Amino acid sequence: MSRHGLRLALLYAAALLITLFLLIPVYFIFAASIGPQNSVYDFPKPLVPQNLSFDTLSFFLHYQGVPEAFKMSVEVGIIAVAVSLILGAPAGYAIARYTFPGKNVLQLIVLATRSFPVIILSIPLAVTFLSWNLYDTAPGVGLVHTAMGLPVTILITAAVFYGVPVDLEEAATTLGCTRIGAFFRISLPMALPGLAAAALFTFVGSWNEVFAASILTLQNHTLPALVLTSLNIAPLQFSFAAAVILIVPSMVFIFFIRRYLVAGWGQVTK
Amino acid sequence: MADIQIQQIRKTYARGQEPAVRDVDLTVRDGEFMVLLGPSGCGKTTLLRLLAGLERPDSGRIAIGGTDVTDLPPRKRQIAMVFQSYAIFPHMSVFQNIGFGLRMQHVSRSEIQQRVHHAAELVQLGDFLQRYPSQLSGGQRQRVAVARAIVMQPAVLLMDEPLSNLDALLRLQFRAELKKLVAELNTTTIYVTHDQVEALSLGDRIAVMRSGSIIQVGAPMDVYDMPATTFVGGFIGMPPMNFLDATVVSANGHTTVDLGGQPLDAPDAVRDLAGGDVTVGIRAESIDVWDQQEPSTMPARIEVVEPLGADLLLTVSVGRQQLKLLTRNDFPARPNMPISIRPQQDKLRWFDAAGERVAPAG
Amino acid sequence: MSSRVETAGAWGEEVTSSPSVPSRRRPRVEAVAPYLLLAPSVFFLSVFVVWPAIQAIHLAFEGPNNTLTSYNFYQMTHEYTFWPSVKNTLIFMVSIIPLEFCLAFSMALIINTGLRGQQFFLYVWTIPLAISDLAAGIVWLSIYTQNGYFNSILHDLGLSQYGYQFLSYQNTFSLFAVCVVAEIWRSTSLVMLILLGGLQGIPREFGEAADVFGATFWQRLWRITLPLLKPSIRVALILRTIFAIQVFAVILALVGSNLPVLGAQAYNWYHSYQNPNIAAAYSIVILVLSVLTTAFYLTVVRNKAEIAGATR
């Protein structure tokens, strides 16, 4: 084999190995939760599940508190998405379109807040939310998830609006639009897929977040918070099914926004 | 249809920076095709954007058709613009692109139909109206941009280097089409370009810009023939005008300059510069050349021979200076050959040390 | 052409032209527009990030009846799990970062070669990004639990009859190893994405030029790619370390309290022992560690002006 061919073979071998490392555990958790409930205690486990059944999954979905937690998670996610888009999209637009004094500092602050440990925020916010009547509510958790998702929303929307040439807006203004009209008729439609990606990204972040959600709720847990507090109480098949239910929506969303992932995170360092 | 009056327009982008446009005055007549020509960074695009209302001036006024538009947003100026990047809306079909401005003006559906079709026919896009920009070639996108502008029947048509993104062959073809189209429409047009050939071939008049100022305004051949400064002479024409440095000698009531051993009669206007330096400008095609010694010529030597097809471009040295000249392609030129040259007296242009033309006047 | 500053036109400004007033004296809405657009976000982040951070410090030093005290820290440090949790968190961080960085960098390089199936690999490799730390912990639990898949494979291969207890508190090394693998599995995608974003910002000609001058693959990596990638590397390291210091759900799901870490301690003190003050004290320890490591990276992986210039 030629040197080049050997190199290529090694490259694909490495890529394949990494792929297996990342995919096999996902396969196992699916295998573990597609079967009758008591199959989780089988040993040795068959690598290919023998008895296909939605028994375990349906056990989880009907477990006490799960439907409510599911609803809570969706509500929290929607609040986080809505607020971070309403606040973040204009900010992203400003960063993409304007040059102004203090721009770099502002960008840096936004970046810094994103890397701020959420553990530190949750505990004082829990105390504050008690007095604001936001403790143990969807808006309370949603707002904290907004704070976590907002910086990334700003970054992604900025990247999206960078991708819409200014010329297009200017052309629209010469053709009879106001500046705001040009934004809504030209930039916004072109930016919509990117904004949707930012929204999905925020939703996935919220859907997955467990620390703040556990700290800020007592009865009205989100799905991950419920799973976390039940780790030591509920049977193993509950956790396995929970993991699958948590993973599936995120995997689907990530599939839709995969094109934006690199653009969004690549932008981070510019 | 409208004339344009620009008075003392100034634009600075950032505090502390040099102004991009400094106190420019310009009048464009109704129906005129005015070309703003200059190297990159000279302020020509800024001036166009000021006219469009995309930038706000620091000071000065702009009037279109007698109306002061300085404080009006673009949409109230009755202008249409063709952008260098074309700025075609990618999420709209060709029809929607061309009809966009009319829709903004709430023109009736049937009239939009009719006017868009007419404009598309003018730029030969009739069969492409349902396509999307991603399905068009560069040349077709350019046509969409032009159609989108002319369909508005604007008082003033602004074009920012509309041909610069096309490859050479298309550019040549479009130049001719554009000239015909604009002549038919008879709309006042401002056209920005850095390409002097485009400027010469398209413009009714050319305004040459440098460092934010207009240096010369005139008909193409006047600007070519009588450059106001050495910069204009060097920027316009291929090859650029030759400039030779010389010292003015005044004796016996005669003013001459010495160029490589052969004194040249200088016009009266140069007499004031006696004893000082002067720059003599001469176009490459205005130098006669012989392959043998001739009376009252300058001796020169060929350095480089470049055949250009119909002509030969010769780089020759005269004394310690170099100049380029054009001659017929049957001239027996070869490198290092001694020749005789003589600039045509009536084609000599005289510039002072600052590069301003002193003679001929006018 | 002259550099354009995009301040053309004014936001939502209606025509208020009066030719007698020179334009420079008109209020410049466009000058304040960016600040107006950014203000809501900045305000929100102040309320929900900056203010709680200050509150956290206050909580950590709060005694009974609103007094100031360092007693919370005294109590925290004298609890028997405190120093193990600091030690475990640090060991965890130090073992994860280099492994994960090398893996992520290799992955980014592989994607950046533009091999066929690039899109497929990129999607599969970002799947873990979608998986929460909690779910990731459970995923690996299904593998490492005593009658899980790993032991099943060992059994099928005839290497063990009943399987090993990887998650037993008696086996500290395997506890650690299991958690490190799970965390690397979950979070390498993020590092890869940041590095890939950086790699794609490096013009291909740089590498090609190096090739023309006869650089080997390693020389090219060391002399061209890595220096140009410094900004991305720094961001990736900072983010990753801060997240590693906060590690919590993966460990709770996999090994419970067998491996105490700072994040889990803060959670327990708030949730199980209902003591927000000591929970806040723990979060302050996390904050201090985060700030120290960030400062460390900022000094060690320093950014050079010419690099910033070259990558634009």
**Is the model's pLDDT at B226 over the cut of 50?**
yes
pLDDT in tens, B282-295: 999 999 999 888 88
**Is the model's pLDDT at C312 over the cut of 90?**
no
What mean pLDDT is predicted for residues B108-137?
Answer: 92
B164-200 burial code (b ≥16 CB/10 A, e <16): eebeeeebeebbeebeebbeebebbbbbbbbbbebbb
Alpha-carbon A131 to chain mean position? 29
Comparing alpha-carbon positions, the chain C residue that sits nearest to B160 is C1
Q: DSSP secondary-structure letter at B276?
A: S
Per-residue model confidence (pLDDT) at position A265: 59
Contact between B278 and B351 (Cβ < 8 Å): yes
Residues A58 and A78 in one domain: no
Write out the two tokens for B278: 């002067």
Write out the two tokens for B56: 């706000």
Per-residue model confidence (pLDDT) at position B211: 92
Chain A residues whose beta carbon lies within 8 Å of the beta carbon of residue B158: 174
Chain A residues 53-72 with CB within 8 Å of chain C: none
Write out the two tokens for B2: 């409208």
Instruction: Work out the minimum CA distance from A170 to partner chain B, whole angstroms.
Output: 7
Partner-chain residue, chosen from A168, A170, A177, that has the shortest CB–CB distance to B104:
A177
Answer whether B81 sits within 8 Å of A171, measured CB to CB.
Answer: yes
In angstroms, the CA B51 to CA B74 distance is 9
Residues A51 and A70 in one domain: no
SS in 3 state form for chain A?
CCHHHHHHHHHHHHHHHHHHHHHHHHHHHHHHHCCCHHHHHCCCCCCCCCCCCCHHHHHHHCCCCHHHHHHHHHHHHHHHHHHHHHHHHHHHHHHHHCCCCCHHHHHHHHHHHHCCCHHHHHHHHHHHHHHHCCCCCHHHHHHHHHHHHHHHHHHHHHHHHHCCCHHHHHHHHHCCCCHHHHHHHHHHHHHHHHHHHHHHHHHHHHHHCCHHHHHCCCCCCCHHHHHHHHCCCCCHHHHHHHHHHHHHHHHHHHHHHHHHHHHHHHHHHC
Answer whether C23 sits within 8 Å of B59, measured CB to CB.
Answer: yes
Contact between A202 and A84 (Cβ < 8 Å): yes
Answer whether A124 sits within 8 Å of C34, measured CB to CB.
Answer: no
How far apart, in Å, are the Cα atoms of B207 and each of B158, B190, B191, B220, B352?
Answer: 15, 10, 10, 9, 22
Crossing angle between the packed helical segments C118-126 and C82-112, to the nearest 10 degrees = 170
How much is the mean pLDDT over chain C? 80
Partner-chain residue, chosen from A175, A177, A190, that has the shortest CB–CB distance to B90:
A190
Residues A116 and A82 in one domain: yes
Per-residue model confidence (pLDDT) at position C16: 35
- What is the three-class DSSP state of B154? coil
Does the interface predicted TM-score (ipTM) exceed 0.90? no
Q: Given a contact as 3+ CB pairs under 8 Å, which chains touch B? A: A, C
Q: What is the CATH number of the domain that holds A264?
A: 1.10.3720.10
Residue at a domain's end among A34, A63, A92: A63
- What is the three-class DSSP state of C90? helix
Answer whether C197 sits within 8 Å of A269, measured CB to CB.
Answer: yes
Instruction: Work out the minimum CA distance from B153 to partner chain C, whole angstroms.
Output: 22
Chain C residues whose beta carbon lies within 8 Å of the beta carbon of residue A88: 41
Per-residue model confidence (pLDDT) at position C211: 73
- What is the three-class DSSP state of B7? strand
Comparing alpha-carbon positions, the chain A residue that sits nearest to C181 is A21
What mean pLDDT is predicted for residues B145-156?
Answer: 93
**Is the model's pLDDT at C297 over the cut of 60?**
yes
Crossing angle between the packed helical segments A223-230 and A188-208, to the nearest 10 degrees = 20
Q: How many domains does chain A have?
A: 2
Residue at a domain's end among A63, A87, A116: A63
pLDDT in tens, B90-121: 989 999 999 999 999 999 999 999 999 999 99
Partner-chain residue, chosen from A170, A177, A181, that has the shortest CB–CB distance to B87:
A170
**Is the model's pLDDT at C25 over the cut of 80?**
no
Comparing alpha-carbon positions, the chain B residue that sits nearest to C25 is B58
For C6, phi and psi rounded to 5 degrees?
Answer: -85, 75
Domain boundaries, chain B: 4-235, 242-359
Contact between A56 and A34 (Cβ < 8 Å): yes
Nearest C-alpha neighbor of A76 from the set A229, A260, A213 = A213
SS in 3 state form for C207-258?
HHHHHHCCCCHHHHHHHHHHHHHHHHHHHHHHHHHHHHHCCCHHHHHHHHHH
In angstroms, the CA A106 to CA A85 distance is 18
Confidence tier at A1 by pLDDT (50, 70, 90): low
Contact between B10 and B19 (Cβ < 8 Å): yes
Highest mean pLDDT among A84-88, A261-265, C191-195: A84-88
Picking from A103, A169, A174 by the largest number of B CB atoms within 10 A of its own CB, the best residue to mutate is: A174
Per-residue model confidence (pLDDT) at position B14: 80
What mean pLDDT is predicted for residues A96-116?
Answer: 79
Interface of chain B toward chain A, CB-CB under 8 angstroms: 52-54, 73-75, 79-81, 83-85, 87, 89-91, 100-101, 104-105, 148, 152, 158
pLDDT in tens, C93-136: 999 999 999 999 999 999 888 788 888 888 889 888 889 899 99
- Dihedral sign for Cα C223, C229, C231, C236, please: negative
What mean pLDDT is predicted for residues C163-177?
Answer: 80
Answer whether B87 sits within 8 Å of A171, measured CB to CB.
Answer: yes
Per-residue model confidence (pLDDT) at position B205: 96
Picking from C38, C110, C167, C282 by the largest number of A CB atoms within 10 A of its own CB, the best residue to mutate is: C38
Answer whether B13 sits within 8 Å of C3, measured CB to CB.
Answer: yes
For B24, phi and psi rounded to 5 degrees?
Answer: -90, 135
Comparing alpha-carbon positions, the chain C residue that sits nearest to A239 is C138
Comparing alpha-carbon positions, the chain B residue that sits nearest to A186 is B89
- Residues across chain C: 312
**CATH superfamily name and code, B4-235:** P-loop containing nucleotide triphosphate hydrolases (3.40.50.300)
What mean pLDDT is predicted for residues A49-62?
Answer: 79
Answer whether B74 sits within 8 Å of A186, measured CB to CB.
Answer: no
What contacts C73, CB < 8 A, 6 or more positions away? Answer: C60, C281
User: Where on the phi/psi map is residue B153: left (φ > 0), alpha (ψ -120 to 50), or beta?
Assistant: left
Q: Given a contact as 3+ CB pairs under 8 Å, which chains touch C? A: A, B
What contacts A2, CB < 8 A, 6 or more positions away? Answer: none
**Domain B242-359: which CATH class?**
mainly beta
Nearest C-alpha neighbor of A148 from the set A105, A206, A222 = A206
Contact between C126 and A254 (Cβ < 8 Å): yes
Put simply, whether A182 touches B (Cβ < 8 Å) is: no
Picking from C44, C220, C232 by the largest number of A CB atoms within 10 A of its own CB, the best residue to mutate is: C44
Residue A20's CB is within 10 A of a number of other CB atoms, namely: 12
Q: DSSP secondary-structure letter at B60?
A: E
DSSP B176-235: HHHHHHHHHHT-EEEEEES-HHHHHHH-SEEEEEETTEEEEEE-HHHHHHS-SBHHHHHH
Residues A35 and A94 in one domain: no
Percent of chain A with pLDDT over 70: 96
- CB-neighbour burial class of residue B221 (10 A; exposed 0-12, middle 13-18, buried 19+): exposed
Per-residue model confidence (pLDDT) at position A36: 76
- ∠ CA C302-C304-C307, nearest 5°, is 125
In angstroms, the CA B82 to CA B159 distance is 5
Write out the two tokens for B95: 């029809």
Put simply, whether A181 touches C (Cβ < 8 Å) is: no
What contacts A240, CB < 8 A, 6 or more positions away? Answer: A29, A32, A33, A40, A56, C138, C141, C142
Residue A59, amino acid: F
Place of tokens 């129906």: B31
Domain containing residue A218: 64-269
What mean pLDDT is predicted for residues C237-252?
Answer: 88
Percent of chain B with pLDDT over 70: 99
Per-residue model confidence (pLDDT) at position C14: 31
- What is the three-class DSSP state of B361? coil
Partner-chain residue, chosen from A117, A204, A236, that has the shortest CB–CB distance to C246:
A117
Contact between A157 and A188 (Cβ < 8 Å): no
What mean pLDDT is predicted for residues A14-22?
Answer: 93
Name the fold adopted by C83-311.
Answer: MetI-like fold (1.10.3720)
- Dihedral sign for Cα C47, C49, C51, C56, please: positive
Instruction: Work out the minimum CA distance from C31 to partner chain B, whole angstroms.
Output: 12
Per-residue model confidence (pLDDT) at position C7: 31
pLDDT in tens, A185-217: 999 998 888 888 889 989 999 999 998 999 899
Partner-chain residue, chosen from C134, C139, C234, that has the shortest CB–CB distance to A29:
C139
- ∠ CA A200-A205-A210, nearest 5°, is 150
Helix (H) / strand (E) element for B326: namely strand B321-328
Chain A residues whose beta carbon lies within 8 Å of the beta carbon of residue B115: none
Per-residue model confidence (pLDDT) at position C44: 92
Answer whether B101 sits within 8 Å of A176, measured CB to CB.
Answer: yes
Comparing alpha-carbon positions, the chain C residue that sits nearest to B47 is C2
Put simply, whether C20 touches B (Cβ < 8 Å) is: no
What mean pLDDT is predicted for residues B4-33?
Answer: 91
Percent of chain A with pLDDT over 90: 33
Partner-chain residue, chosen from A168, A174, A186, that has the shortest CB–CB distance to B81:
A174
Comparing alpha-carbon positions, the chain B residue that sits nearest to C9 is B54
Lowest mean pLDDT among A38-47, A75-84, A192-201, B338-347: A38-47
pLDDT in tens, B311-330: 999 999 988 889 999 999 88
Instruction: Work out the minimum CA distance from A8 to partner chain C, whole angstroms.
Output: 9
Per-residue model confidence (pLDDT) at position A264: 61
Contact between A91 and C40 (Cβ < 8 Å): yes
For A208, phi and psi rounded to 5 degrees?
Answer: -90, -20
Instruction: Work out the minimum CA distance from B84 to partner chain A, whole angstroms.
Output: 9
Domain boundaries, chain C: 83-311
- Dihedral sign for Cα C2, B218, B257, B323, please: positive
Helices vs strands, H then E, count in chain C: 15, 0
**Is the model's pLDDT at B82 over the cut of 60?**
yes
What contacts A30, CB < 8 A, 6 or more positions away? Answer: A244
Picking from C48, C196, C301 by the largest number of A CB atoms within 10 A of its own CB, the best residue to mutate is: C48
Highest mean pLDDT among A59-63, B183-187, C63-67: B183-187
Furthest CA-CA distance within chain A: 73
**Is the model's pLDDT at B189 over the cut of 90?**
yes
In angstroms, the CA B294 to CA B316 distance is 17
